[in-house]
Amino acid sequence: MNKVIFFFLFVLLLIIPNTIDENFEEGFNFFELVTNIKNKVLKSFTEQEVEIKLTTAELELIDELNKELIQKNKESAMQIAFDLDTFLRDNIRQINYQIALSEWNRFRNDGGIKGIYLNGYYFNREQKLSSIENISISTDVNTIVLDVKTDNGHLLYESALPQVDYLNNIRVKYDASSLLEFKERNDIYLIGRVVAFQDPVFAKKTPDAAIIDVSTGLPYSQNEQYFLDPSDPKSRQYVLDVALEACNLGFDEIQFDYIRYPDTSYKGLVYDEESSFETRTKNINSFLSNAKDLLHENGCLVSADIFGYVLNARNDNGIGQYLETIIDTVDFISPMIYPSHYSKGSFGYLNPNDHPYEVITAALQLGLNRGVDPNKLRPFLQAFWHTSEDVQYNIKAAEDKQLDWILWNTISSYELDYFTKLDT
């Protein structure tokens, strides 16, 4: 045992002088002390002595250096573990993102993303689902947008979030297994629609996360819509948590709807953070940026529904949607370019709804003229209040710009001839 100690001290004292700062202690000649210790060890080794006698100061120094080396080893091990964790997370994030991008590209390169909206409440209704599946089989439609969190504040899957017992907002229509079967049976790209900052259930039961109307002291409502505060951490986190659960259910992409402030000129609204162009755009864009980081890491792409007029507006119109900033925070934007929603005289037409091709063409060109990447521009088109030919003109307008598209109909009622190519 003494020989082992002897050899350990010998090696230690050969190494220590090269690893410790010369200014170990002010006024203390460290190297002289170490040299003396080393000489004693060498002398003992030469004379085959077994016992080494060190002074109290020398023993204390060795003890101190030993503690310092142990601490440095701990810190080094912790840093290595941290660096490894960061490396693995970064690589997993990139792998999951690349898988999601590859799935999108599979459909994008096979004629483009051509989608229809499926009202989530109908998912377990056989007749409605059969009609939707018939369209995916019989036409070029290869994408379905399905509700995850609805306009009513309901979650259409079995959520594990702690708030749901209190909110009582689960209305199960599908699970991971049924979604996977639906995707594989129809070979579709599946987008999960998450209604973000319009939620009557969460607003009423968690009023401190809602926008407050000063005239009533209650959550602000507009045509029975109740808005969460985009600047409130609780509302933001809840929506993010829902989006992450949806991604993990098997959706390929998460699409945020009502990703905005209420569109009103009413001044009596109270937010956590005072509403201005800077704060509105900051809060909307930071939320989407956080969502993109989170969802890319877990294998989903991210899109945002925006008002159609955002393509031509040079401000945020009070809702936080400003084209030049929002486009950078998501993978895709879906402006809702519904001719029926444009006011009289828009684009030079007395009744824009009667001119779907011209109105949609003009609106899309405005966005393209502002530098929007065509791969990121995927409009929602009008499949309501229109004839079959009108819907065909909607689609033609988007495809003539080489853009992807999604049809919107609240009750998910679509005719097969919507997808017939026009001769003109």
47 to each of 19, 185, 187, 192, 321, how far by Cα in Å? 28, 86, 84, 81, 85
Q: Is the dihedral of CA 122, 113, 196, 381 positive or negative?
A: negative
Residue 377 gets the label, from left (phi > 0), alpha (psi -120 to 50) or beta, of beta
Q: Note the pTM of the prediction, 2 decimals.
A: 0.80
| Helix, strand, coil share (%) of the chain residues, nearest 5 | 50, 15, 35
pLDDT of residue 1: 45
CATH superfamily of 113-419: Glycosidases (3.20.20.80)
Q: How far apart are CA 87 and CA 236, in angstroms?
A: 28
pLDDT digits (tens, 9 = 90+) for 136-153: 999 999 999 999 999 999
Residues 9-30: tens digit of each pLDDT: 444 444 444 444 444 444 455 5
Phi then psi for residue 221, to 5 deg, are -125, 150
Own/partner pairs, 125-133, CB within 8 angstroms, 24+ separation: 128/412, 131/414, 132/412, 132/414, 133/185, 133/186
Question: How confident is the chain (424 residues) per 10-residue block, as mean pLDDT?
Answer: 44 47 48 62 57 74 83 80 69 86 91 96 95 95 98 98 96 97 96 98 97 96 95 98 98 98 95 96 98 96 97 95 96 98 95 97 97 97 96 97 98 95 73
Indicate the domain borders of the chain: 2-82, 113-419
